[in-house]
Amino acid sequence: MQQYTTQMDAAKKGIITEQMKAVAEKENLDVEVIRARVAAGTIAIPANKNHKALDAQGVGQGLRTKINVNLGVSGDLADNEMEWQKVQTAIELGAEAIMDLSNFGKTHAFRKRLIDAAPAMIGTVPVYDVVGYTGKIVNDLTYKDFLAVVEKHAKDGVDFVTIHAGLTRHTAQKVLDNPRQTNVVSRGGSVLFAWMVHTGNENPFFEHYDELLDILARYDVTLSLGDACRPGSIADATDAAQIEELITLGELTRRAWEKNVQVIIEGPGHMALNEIQANMILQKRLCHGAPFYVLGPLVTDIAPGYDHITSAIGGAIAAASGADFLCYVTPAEHLRLPDVQDVREGIIASRIAAHAADIAKGVPGARDWDNAMSRARQEVNWEKMYELAVDPKKAREYHDSSRPAQEDTCTMCGEMCAMKTMNRILSGEAGCVKL
């Protein structure tokens, strides 16, 4: 039996894996199309060999836009049970990926619980865990410490890891030479920036990139190349630091593919509407068609408390223009750690954005859901409408909170319901509409 090390290695050898079959079935595509695109790097199937509960998903060319849910404890709010409720909410609402961004204490137990139970792709940012894992302060860390944490997460079963390997000392100097409104807003990027400044050394993930790739290939972990220089305000979008890092990410992508490590590229966080499409095209060109993962982008900076909306606007445009993977943003963004309700609202907003983009991109089957909802509305079939709603619970609660005199209408139109009127007329029913 022919052996392979990673999904990409199998695809290059012409081997169709069980994960490729699962993705092909979900996407209504020929499995050979999936295999060929995994081999080319334009589709990634994050699937760690040790994640036994995984229900494999594909991210990339020609596939449905996927969404990711961030959660995890912080030093100020370390409630693992609340985080577990968020996990259950994410699974209930169909999120394809969950990232555990815990950055306080010993994170292993929660991460293992998540991997053992969750069918979603699981991601982490290992640099968040490096201090808790090693017990050292940032200034005392060595490059081996950074790599050891990556290997620990990979061995645990994480399907993809965000690594800010593109923030080189040269790129860091770009940030210093070209002042930004919000400097470096990536948590992982800021840790590496501080470490480089203190030690005078190169980014350990860039300098020891081949060792990193060997670890990821061993467990078949997908490399999500983080954008440490992503804009944290619309003023910083598409600036020298962001573009310089993106060029480096393109070079690192090719090197990863040479070692059969799958790659996802992470993209901008804040960006004016008119810059989004150009940025998507630029990323795809510079990074050789690798799947693109965006946080938002948030299209304005003035909406704290409503950033799930600013994010959904940008996410829909980004995905319609080529992005493949949306990281949700909650109403709590920029304000506090999100609670369970925040997570729910963020997921729904991102799912709407992703689906709207899939319609625009012509993803096979995307319109079928909308057509089914339209038929249910035409039939005034409330139970079917609830069933098809992106958030059935909220749809039912809204309708039931204001009961109409006639049960087959709602309190907006009552007996003047256009659907009822047209159904009566077109069926030949006699009589006039009663007001």
**Which residue numbers belong to the known binding site?**
70, 99, 128, 164, 186-188, 227-230, 266, 270, 293, 334, 410, 413, 417
Residue 273: partners with Cβ closer than 8 Å, 6 or more residues away: 299, 313, 314, 317
Binding site per annotation, positions for [4Fe-4S] cluster: 410, 413, 417
Binding site per annotation, positions for substrate: 70, 99, 128, 164, 186-188, 227-230, 266, 293
Residue 11 CA to residue 14 CA, distance in Å, equals 5
Residue 72 CA to residue 62 CA, distance in Å, equals 31
Please name which of 344, 85, 46, 97 lies closest in space to residue 223, comparing C-alpha atoms: 46
Q: Residue 198: what are its φ and ψ, rounded to 5°?
A: -70, -45
Q: Is the dihedral of CA 175, 189, 323, 67 positive or negative?
A: negative
Please name which of 166, 307, 155 lies closest in space to residue 230, comparing C-alpha atoms: 166
Residue 92 CA to residue 340 CA, distance in Å, equals 12
Binding site per annotation, positions for Zn(2+): 270, 334
Torsion of CA 12, 17, 22, 27, to 10 degrees: 20
